[in-house]
Amino acid sequence: MKKNSSGHEKPLPQPDPDSQMFWEGCKQHKLLVQRCKKCGTHWFPPDSMCHMCQCRDYEWVEVEGKGGVYSWIVVYYSPHPAFSREVPYAVSYVELNAPKSIRMCGNIVNCKNEDIYAGMPVEVVFDDVTPEVTLPRWKPTK
């Protein structure tokens, strides 16, 4: 995999018109999700319509970024050079405490792979991987 201009060797997200605000938020170390202005439903991943009431009028709101491990894997074999150097590494689905309906995918950091458990409380940390891109990751809540 080619290094990009800032030396980050892993694939970076390609924001689209729906997700641009989410990634902008990460850059400012804020975890943003959408909320329907009509029925109040929150959703993620970003979309252009409320899945509950089909309203297209929504706002971006910051969420606390605390949650628990819903499921996780530890990758021992990766066919991709960018990740094969780092095995074994953990990826988790994190279920937010509020709003509970939202799950995000990300790495667990500051924690040994063997210490991860179901429901483990985690909180978001922002990793500025390049000057343009910040990835949310998750660390155990003390």
Partner 1 sequence: MNNLKDKVAIVGLGWTKFSRNSGVSVKNLALESCKNAIDDAGLTVKDVDGIATYNIGDSVSPYVVATGLGLPELRWNIEYFAGANGATSTLLTAACAVIGGLADTVLIFRAMNGRTGTRLGGAGLSLNTSGVEQYCVPYGLTTFPQAVAMIARRHMIKYGTTSRQMGAVAVTCRDNAALNERAVLRSPLSIEDHQNSKMIVDPLRLYDCCQETDGACAVLITSANRAKDLRHTPVYLMSGTHGAGWQSGEFFGKTTAFWPEWDELSDTYAKTMAPELFGKAGITPEDVDVAELYDCFTIEPIVQLEDFGFCKKGEGGAFVESGAIKRDGRLPINTHGGLLSEGYIHGFNHVLEAASQLRGDADARQIKDAEIALVTGYCGPVANAVILRR
Virtual CA dihedral for 33, 39, 99, 26, nearest 10 degrees? Answer: 10
Q: What character string, x for contact with partner 1 (CB under 8 A) and - otherwise, covers 13-32?
A: xxxx--x-------------
The residue from 11, 28, 37, 53 that contacts partner 1 (CB under 8 A) is 11
Contact call for residue 72 and partner 1 (CB under 8 A): yes
Contact call for residue 109 and partner 1 (CB under 8 A): no
The residue from 49, 82, 111, 125 that contacts partner 1 (CB under 8 A) is 82
Stretch that binds partner 1, among 7-15, 31-39, 55-63 (CB under 8 A): 7-15
Q: What is the DSSP string of 51-87?
A: TTT----EEEEE---EEEEEEEEEES--SSHHHHTT-
Query: What three-state secondary structure class fits 25?
Result: helix
Contact call for residue 41 and partner 1 (CB under 8 A): no
1 and 82 Cβ atoms separated by less than 8 Å: yes
Joined together, the tokens standing for residue 4 give 């990009």
113 and 74 Cβ atoms separated by less than 8 Å: yes
Question: Which residues are at the interface with partner 1 (CB under 8 A)?
Answer: 1, 10-16, 19, 43-45, 51, 70-80, 82-83, 86, 88-89, 91, 93, 102-107, 118, 135, 137
